[in-house]
Copies of this chain bind each other. A is one copy, B any other.
Amino acid sequence: MQTHAYPTPYAARLAARSGVLDAPTANVAPGYVQANLAILPRDLAYDFLLFCQRNPKPCPLVGVSEVGDPMLPLLGHDLDIRTDVPRYRVWEKGKLVAEVTDVSQYWRDDLVTFAIGCSFSFEEAMLAAGLPVRHIEQCCNVPMYRTSIATTPAGRFSGPLVMSMRPLSPKDAIRAAQVTARFPSVHGGPMHIGDPSLVGIKDIGKPDYGDPVEIRPGEIPVFWACGVTPQSVIAASMPDFCITHAPGYMLLTDIPNSDLAIC
């Protein structure tokens, strides 16, 4: 499902708040950082913050809230995390208990919001550099794979690294490695290139998440650390309570993608 673009991320957040925007957010606010969402109780927040510090490629934090405060002024004007994401998932003991467009009724004074960078930002940089992004061409979700590479554990959080894959010609793969490396806060450069079996992927045609995409003759698969990693790691730790975004329905921030380029 494709939605039209809003003039600003704030306009899109207000549309989400009022219930008008209830759709995946690709291209909803072009040029601005979108983020994966993990809302956890304070007693898990230190372990999760440390997990993100130790695994900056899959878990690049773009913002962390104050304890219990639903507002995120560092990420956007008037941003209320209880209402401004188009769709949420509410989890109890690792089980999905609700998928809703507003989590005000679930809010607690001990919750901490973690916003984690998303590949939409570096895909925009790839497209701007004239590089093809196959799943965008094919209008499907990016293929994602659980790999044999372990994340660095922190407290109650551990698990395998998930990688997303984009097929490219060798020449484009080199350029994509350069272009995306400039954006460490949205996963940065690739983690693997070529033979999928070297990172424990048995069948490139059967992703663990998302959709398979065509790999054309002469192309090689290029793998990036994926924002699904923190979600799968949180799910595996089965916290008593947790809120995430629904896949594809991201948090829209006021941060321009171009601000993330470090060089």
Chain B residue at smallest Cβ distance from A177? B263
Q: Which residue of B lies closest to A50 (CB)?
A: B64
Judge if A184 is at the interface, Cβ distance under 8 Å: yes
Q: Which residues from B are CB-within-8-Å of A238? A: none
Measured between C-beta atoms, what is the minimum distance from A204 to chain B in Å? 27
Answer whether residue A72 sits at the interface, using C-beta atoms and an 8 A cutoff: no
Contact present for A181 and B263 (CB under 8 Å): yes
Of the candidates B46, B152, B184, the one whose C-beta lies within 8 Å of that of A74 is: B152
Report the minimum CB–CB distance from A29 to chain B (whole Å): 23
Among the listed B52, B74, B178, B262, which residue makes an inter-chain contact with A188, where contact means beta carbons less than 8 Å apart? B262
Are B49 and A50 closer than 8 Å at their CB atoms?
yes
Distance in angstroms between the alpha carbons of A263 and B152 in the assembled complex: 22
Are A189 and B53 in contact, with the CB atoms below 8 A?
no
- Judge whether A79 is part of the interface by a CB distance below 8 angstroms: no
Q: Which residues of B contact A135 (CB under 8 A)?
A: none
B53 touches A263 (CB 8 A): no
Interface string of A69-89 (1 = CB under 8 A from B): 000001000000000000000
Complex Cα distance A50/B49, Å?
Answer: 8
Encode A173-188 as 1/0 by CB contact (under 8 A) with B.
0000010011010001
Question: Nearest chain-B residue to A152 (Cβ)?
Answer: B74
Instruction: Tell me which residues across on chain B come within 8 A of A178, comparing CB atoms.
Output: 263
- What separation, in Å, do the CA atoms of A243 and B52 have in the docked complex? 25
Q: Does A192 contact B (CB under 8 A)?
A: no
Which chain B residue lies CB-closest to A114? B53
Interface status of A252 (Cβ within 8 A of chain B): no
Residues of B within 8 Å of A14, CB to CB, are none
Q: Please list the residues of chain A having a beta carbon within 8 angstroms of any beta carbon in chain B.
A: 45-46, 49-50, 52-54, 61, 64, 74, 152, 178, 181-182, 184, 188-189, 262-263
Besides the contacts A53-B61, A184-B184, what 15 more A-B pairs have beta carbons closer than 8 Å?
A: A46-B46, A49-B50, A49-B53, A52-B53, A53-B53, A53-B64, A54-B64, A54-B74, A74-B152, A178-B263, A181-B262, A182-B263, A184-B262, A189-B263, A262-B262
